């Protein structure tokens, strides 16, 4: 049955079949029916994987495959394959284990439910056509026999049966109908049957007689089969029925109809429960799939801790600000250099807020292509643009009821900032390609290492959006300004590195701590984490190798820069003055230029964003 040596029976099978290697997901064989159903040639099908045929459905495929392997055979209607034309296929997928050794193979049969339904309709039409005359004659004879008083068949029938004449008056009622309706035959015969048992629709609205399918049978001469309607008992209670109203003719004239019905309340209740459960499961599945996609994205981002570590005055101030603002829904703008833990501050605010039961959705604005910003934020509908093969929920909608964290918010294109402002002001947005306006309740936390005030002055950031974001500003201070926290952070990162590398017994000496504390950390906490992990990798016999950049070793001694200070000690005031003098000298040498070739950042050997943050912190004028 493999594609290289096709079995003629397999190839000619009328149903679409695929042979799948369960261990690799590879499609090893496909018959002609599969190629016709999926509109793909057999080499293409056999050269693809089963996950490519069912995109974005890895979870459903995994569950289905596990069921096939456990039971030997299983089926599902929850899988939808990709189709070249873009139309949705409604399939029932049946899997059976072909072999377990040496290869674990599964035969996957795809049944087109739409085609099957069409065949059933055609078969039903043929059956009516073949047996139509006989059925009409039988119904006519039955009605005539009933009129002559022959009640034997009616009394023996387990289904409810009654007749009506051309005026809609009841002509007979069998015992089963009496039992189900709670009426005696004498109370119904001669009366309007519709008014007695069929006067309301299932939703409680009135059911006009002229719209009744029972009476329509002797008006249009057609058989009317109806499901999911209600008949009402004498006591006013209703029950679900399925019935057929068959017209009766007398010498070619429509004389009335015979109605056969059954109580399907239990089946209907079971179907409703099943439909409700499936709808709920499908809704949860779709949302969980989307949330899972974002959670997987979050997991891909390296995070070694969620809490804010440290006990310095700067950290205590940040934590008090977090506690204060978390109780509100106010927008928060977290600023600071790269690597200072702005995302951790956002997480701490969310976890301390009343929205913690809903997700914190993170968006790295610097990583989104310019043309996809709107779709990423607000979502899109199928066909909104090339490649939009299905509806997609945006980050705002996914964060509904929770918190949206916009990292690197200064990277948002200017043309999109107006739409973002509208969502923040009105709580409304539209998906790309959709006219429907949706409402959303989102708490926004933004972060940036840029000077947004300068961005506003230079026309790269909307002033109204800036003031909307800057309701409660929090400054994430650089690591060099909270050196007291370096030992605690270093120990925390060392524990994480040992778990990650599966090693034990690594410790930091006092000399290591002294070196770490003396270093300026232009990369902040992120750089510290990298240094500790690198030291753990290079460790030999339990001793760490702290490899700090050359700039730390090449720095002039403290005594040469600050005379009144004792050897090896530099006060905070002296350090700030040293930094101020160094930065001012570099700016003077660069003619006031911060970034670019020959700029102060290049002279000092730091990133432009880091230098800009230091200039702002020290209050140095341009």
The rounded distance, in Å, linking the Cα atoms of 318 and 398 is: 28
Residue 139 in any domain: the answer is no
Residues 408 and 460 in one domain: yes
DSSP string, 14-45: SSEEEEEETTT-BEEEE-HHHHHHHT--HHHH
Residues 468 and 483 in one domain: no
Residue 148 has pLDDT above 80, yes or no: no
CA angle 519, 525, 527 (to 5 degrees): 65
Residue 65 in any domain: the answer is yes
Residues 193 and 249 in one domain: yes
> Residues 158-183: what's their mean pLDDT?
87
For 50-78, what is each residue's pLDDT tens digit? 888 888 888 888 888 999 999 999 999 88
Residue 4 has pLDDT above 80, yes or no: no
Residue 550 has pLDDT above 50, yes or no: yes
Give the model's pLDDT for residue 603: 77
Residue 618 in any domain: the answer is yes
Helix (H) / strand (E) element for 294: namely helix 265-300
Residue 482 has pLDDT above 60, yes or no: yes
Cα 52 from chain centre = 19
Residues 525 and 622 in one domain: no
Supply 209's token pair. Answer: 């007689």
Residue 291 has pLDDT above 70, yes or no: no
Write phi, then psi, for 150 (nearest 5 degrees): -80, 105
For 118-132, what is each residue's pLDDT tens digit? 888 878 767 766 655
Residues 384 and 485 in one domain: no
CATH code where residue 548 lies: 1.10.8.60
Cα 437 from chain centre = 20
Residues 441 and 313 in one domain: yes
Residues 487 and 471 in one domain: no
Q: Please identify which residue in the block is written with the tokens 């090893």.
A: 28
DSSP string, 565-597: SPTT---HHHHHHHHHHHHHHHHHHTTT--SST
Distances, alpha carbon 45 to alpha carbons 95, 128, 241, 318, in Å: 17, 41, 47, 57
Residue 131 in any domain: the answer is no
Residues 468 and 589 in one domain: no
Total number of domains in the chain: 5
Residues 307 and 445 in one domain: yes
> pLDDT band at 155, cuts 50/70/90?
low
Interacting residues of 572 by C-beta distance below 8 A, sequence separation 6+: none
Beta-sheet pairing, 403-407 with 91-99: unpaired
Q: Please identify which residue in the block is written with the tokens 């209050």.
A: 619
> Residues 242-266: what's their mean pLDDT?
88
Residue 3 has pLDDT above 60, yes or no: no
Residue 133 in any domain: the answer is no
Give the model's pLDDT for residue 132: 53
Residues 32 and 109 in one domain: yes
Interacting residues of 591 by C-beta distance below 8 A, sequence separation 6+: none
The rounded distance, in Å, linking the Cα atoms of 30 and 23 is: 18
> Residues 26-38: what's their mean pLDDT?
88
Last residue of a domain, one of 430, 456, 475: 475
What pTM did the predictor assign? 0.45
DSSP string, 245-278: EEEEEETTEEEEEEEEEEE-HHHHHHHHHHHHHH
Cα 309 from chain centre = 32
User: b/e for 494-504, b at 16 or more Cβ within 10 A?
Assistant: bebbbeeeeee
Cα 411 from chain centre = 25
Cβ(27)–Cβ(20) under 8 Å?
A: yes
Last residue of a domain, one of 425, 451, 475: 475
Give the model's pLDDT for residue 157: 59
Residues 594 and 523 in one domain: no
Residue 446 has pLDDT above 60, yes or no: yes
DSSP string, 539-550: -BTTB------H
Residue 567 has pLDDT above 50, yes or no: no
Residue 240 in any domain: the answer is yes
The rounded distance, in Å, linking the Cα atoms of 599 and 307 is: 37
Residues 445 and 527 in one domain: no
> pLDDT band at 565, cuts 50/70/90?
very low
Residue 488 in any domain: the answer is yes
Interacting residues of 384 by C-beta distance below 8 A, sequence separation 6+: 375, 431, 432, 433, 434
Q: Please identify which residue in the block is written with the tokens 């040596």.
A: 5
Residue 242 has pLDDT above 50, yes or no: yes
- Structural domain that includes position 595: 570-622
Give the model's pLDDT for residue 379: 87
Nearest to residue 570, comparing CAs of 483, 491, 486?
483
Last residue of a domain, one of 555, 579, 608: 555
CATH code where residue 41 lies: 3.30.450.20
Of these ranges, 165-179, 317-331, 577-591, the one predicted with the greatest mean pLDDT is: 317-331
The rounded distance, in Å, linking the Cα atoms of 405 and 421 is: 15
The rounded distance, in Å, linking the Cα atoms of 409 and 342 is: 12
Residue 455 has pLDDT above 80, yes or no: yes
Supply 299's token pair. Answer: 């997991």
Residue 136 has pLDDT above 80, yes or no: no
CATH code where residue 330 lies: 3.40.50.300
For 379-431, what is each residue's pLDDT tens digit? 888 877 877 778 788 888 888 999 999 999 999 988 888 888 988 888 888 88
Is the four-CA dihedral 411, 413, 414, 420 of positive or negative sign? negative
The rounded distance, in Å, linking the Cα atoms of 292 and 109 is: 29
Residue 2 in any domain: the answer is no
Q: Chain-wide mean pLDDT for the chain?
A: 82
């Amino acid at each position: 049955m493999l594609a290289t040596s096709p079995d003629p029976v397999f190839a000619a099978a009328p149903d679409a079949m695929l042979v799948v290697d369960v261990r690799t997901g590879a499609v090893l064989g496909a018959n002609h029916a599969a190629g016709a159903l999926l509109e793909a040639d057999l080499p293409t099908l056999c050269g693809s994987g089963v996950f490519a045929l069912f995109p974005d459905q890895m979870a459903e495929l995994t569950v289905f495959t596990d069921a096939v392997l456990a039971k030997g055979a299983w089926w599902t209607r929850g899988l939808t394959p990709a189709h070249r034309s873009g139309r949705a296929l409604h399939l029932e997928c049946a899997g059976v284990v072909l072999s377990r050794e040496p290869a674990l193979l599964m035969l996957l049969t795809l049944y087109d439910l739409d085609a099957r339904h069409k065949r059933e309709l055609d078969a039903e039409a043929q059956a009516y056509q073949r047996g139509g005359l006989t059925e009409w004659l039988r119904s006519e004879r039955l009605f005539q026999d009933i009129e002559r008083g022959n009640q034997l068949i009616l009394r023996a029938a387990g289904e409810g049966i009654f007749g009506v004449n051309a005026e809609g008056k009841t002509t007979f009622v069998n015992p089963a109908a009496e039992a189900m309706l709670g009426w005696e035959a004498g109370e119904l015969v001669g009366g309007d049957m519709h008014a007695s048992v069929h006067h309301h629709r299932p939703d409680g609205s009135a059911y006009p007689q002229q719209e009744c399918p029972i009476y329509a049978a002797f008006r249009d001469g057609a058989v009317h089969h109806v499901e999911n309607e209600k008949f009402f008992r004498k006591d006013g209670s209703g029950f679900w029925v399925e019935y057929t109203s068959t017209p009766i003719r007398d010498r070619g004239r429509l004389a009335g109809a015979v109605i056969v019905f059954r109580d399907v309340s239990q089946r209907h209740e079971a179907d409703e429960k099943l439909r409700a459960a499936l709808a709920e499961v499908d809704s949860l599945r779709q949302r969980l799939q989307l949330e899972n996609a974002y959670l997987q994205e979050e997991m891909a981002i390296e995070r070694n801790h969620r809490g804010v570590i440290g006990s310095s005055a700067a950290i205590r101030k940040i934590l008090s600000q977090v506690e204060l603002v978390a109780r509100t829904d106010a927008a928060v703008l977290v600023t600071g250099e790269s690597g200072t833990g702005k995302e951790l501050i956002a997480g701490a605010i969310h976890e301390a807020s009343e929205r913690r039961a809903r997700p914190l959705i993170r968006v790295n604005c610097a990583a989104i292509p310019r043309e996809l910003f709107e779709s990423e934020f607000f979502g899109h509908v199928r066909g909104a643009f090339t490649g939009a093969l299905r509806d997609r929920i945006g980050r705002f909608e996914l964060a509904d009821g929770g918190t949206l964290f916009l990292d690197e918010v200064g990277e948002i294109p200017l043309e999109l900032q107006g739409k973002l402002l509208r969502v923040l002001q009105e709580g409304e947005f539209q998906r790309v390609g959709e006219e429907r306006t949706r409402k959303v309740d989102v708490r926004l936390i933004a972060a940036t290492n840029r000077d947004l005030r300068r961005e506003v002055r230079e026309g790269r950031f909307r002033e109204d959006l800036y003031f909307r974001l800057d309701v409660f500003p929090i400054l994430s201070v650089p690591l060099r300004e909270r050196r007291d926290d370096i030992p605690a952070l270093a120990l925390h990162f060392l524990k994480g590195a040992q778990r990650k590398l599966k090693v034990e017994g690594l410790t930091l000496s006092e000399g290591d701590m002294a070196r770490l504390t003396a270093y300026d950390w232009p990369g902040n906490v992120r750089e510290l984490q990298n240094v500790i992990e690198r030291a753990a990798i290079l460790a030999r016999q339990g001793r760490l190798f702290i490899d700090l950049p050359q700039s730390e070793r090449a720095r002039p001694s403290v005594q040469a820069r600050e005379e009144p200070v004792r050897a090896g000690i530099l006060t905070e005031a002296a350090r700030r003055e040293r930094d101020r003098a160094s930065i001012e000298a570099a700016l003077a040498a660069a003619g006031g230029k911060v970034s670019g070739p020959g700029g102060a950042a290049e002279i000092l050997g730091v990133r432009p964003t880091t230098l800009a943050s230091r200039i702002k912190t020290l209050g140095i004028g341009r």
